[in-house]
Chain A
Amino acid sequence: DGGITQSPKYLFRKEGQNVTLSCEQNLNHDAMYWYRQDPGQGLRLIYYSQIVNDFQKGDIAEGYSVSREKKESFPLTVTSAQKNPTAFYLCASSTPDRTGGYGYTFGSGTRLTVV
């Protein structure tokens, strides 16, 4: 079945550490996205990529980095510069059709906790 796989499901990070969250899709979607969700809140866009080897900052990119070397993969690194990284991280993908097309497909998320 096609879908998006995020790993790990739970991640604990010590202060000052960088951690990388994995996101892999086999939907053949060009566009991929990373969102952050805090308890009881909506989704805030961190980074997005519309094509391989290209990505753009979202609304809250500070303290995060991404790469898009392959169409299927869009890993997110939470760096030590991110002051409050504890959150639920969601990866999504979509077709690039801006006039309609399909909705976003989300992965099951990674819950990151700073200890």
Chain B
Amino acid sequence: GQQVMQIPQYQHVQEGEDFTTYCNSSTTLSNIQWYKQRPGGHPVFLIQLVKSGEVKKQKRLTFQFGEAKKNSSLHITATQTTDVGTYFCAGLEYGNKLVFGAGTILRVKS
């Protein structure tokens, strides 16, 4: 079945440093979504990418969808303490259900 791998599992950065998490699917996706879960909270939808090679930005966050629609990345520029949490990618395979990656835990040291 479809698998979504996400790396790294954990990253600890100094405030102001950049952060990137990567997501790879074993199959071609119809779209990929990104979620953020704050410590003790629930996942919150951030964005959805649908087109091959698509790039979207939300303030300091940049999301990319690969040309082959099998990989994606989330890049945060100049991290802040408010960025802490777990970032999940979730891939939707054509005609199937959403499959979540294991998440990347981000800790920011001030």
Contact = CB atoms under 8 A, between A and B. Distances in A.
Interface of A: 35, 40-43, 45, 48, 58, 90, 94, 98-109
B19 interface: no
B30 A103 contact: no
Contacts, number: 54
B105 A100 contact: no
Contacts of A99: 30-31, 50
Interface string B37-62: 00001111111101000000000000
Interface residues of B, number: 27
B103 A42 contact: yes
A45 B42 CA distance: 15
Interface string B68-110: 0000000000000000000010101011011111110100000
B50 A100 contact: yes
Say what secondary structure dominates the interface of chain A.
loop
A43 to B, nearest CB: 4
A43 B30 contact: no
Contacts of A109: 42
Contacts of A41: 102-103
B25 interface: no
Nearest to A45: B97
B21 interface: no
Contact of A103 (B6, B35, B103): B35
B42 A90 contact: yes
Given A90-B43, A107-B42, 4 more contacts: A48-B97, A90-B42, A99-B50, A100-B30
